[in-house]
Amino acid sequence: MNDVVLVDDHILLSLLLGEEPRELRPRGGIIATTGLWYHRLCRALAAQDVVGSMSRRLGGVSPEIAVDVIATVIELPESIELMSLRTLGWPMGEIVRDGARLNLLSLEALAAARVLGAEICCAQGNDNEPLQDAARTHAIPIRSVHL
């Protein structure tokens, strides 16, 4: 296991709800996410007329907790590293140059994991086969985490 885990938007929401999966980082370590995963979480929680898996999870908590979680999403804690495209733009270009064919979200995740030396953790059921294949090709650990 790595000391840095790169989490998707579903796991990020769990963390902000105070529900960290035990298997996520049994030895502690750093939590990081990408700008696009962070954006997807913000978009899911900001759109009150759209009901999806993340907004449903927030709907299952008390109004007070929901307000606190949204405030925490808006002002992401410093303990969660948020990768910038300033850092990832060139590594993403290199991955594409080397032949990877990924959507922007997966490309950003792969580059972030390479830069951080991180393990990619995606919520179970939110599996992304192209990202999993590319991670294996680039020798980047990736796993599904049960929420």
What residue numbers bound the domain in which 32 lies? 4-145
The most distant pair of C-alpha atoms in the chain lies apart, rounded to whole Å, by: 48
For residue 74, what are its two tokens?
A: 């808006």
d(CA 138, CA 130): 12
Q: Which residues pair with 6 in a beta bridge?
A: 32, 120
- Tell the burial category of 59 from Cβ atoms under 10 Å away from its Cβ (0-12, 13-18, 19+): exposed
Query: Do the Cβ atoms of 125 and 11 come closer than 8 Å?
Result: no
Distance CA 4, CA 80 (A): 11
Separation CA 82–CA 76 (nearest Å): 9
Whose tokens are 């192209």? That residue is 130
Tens of pLDDT along the chain (147 residues) come to 569 999 999 999 999 989 999 899 977 899 999 999 999 999 888 876 556 666 666 666 677 877 888 898 999 999 999 999 999 999 999 999 999 999 999 999 999 999 999 999 999 988 799 999 999 999 999 999 999
3-state secondary structure of 113: helix
Whole-number Å distance between alpha carbons of 66 and 55? 10
Number of structural domains the chain divides into: 1
Kindly report the CATH number assigned to the domain that includes residue 64: 3.40.50.1010
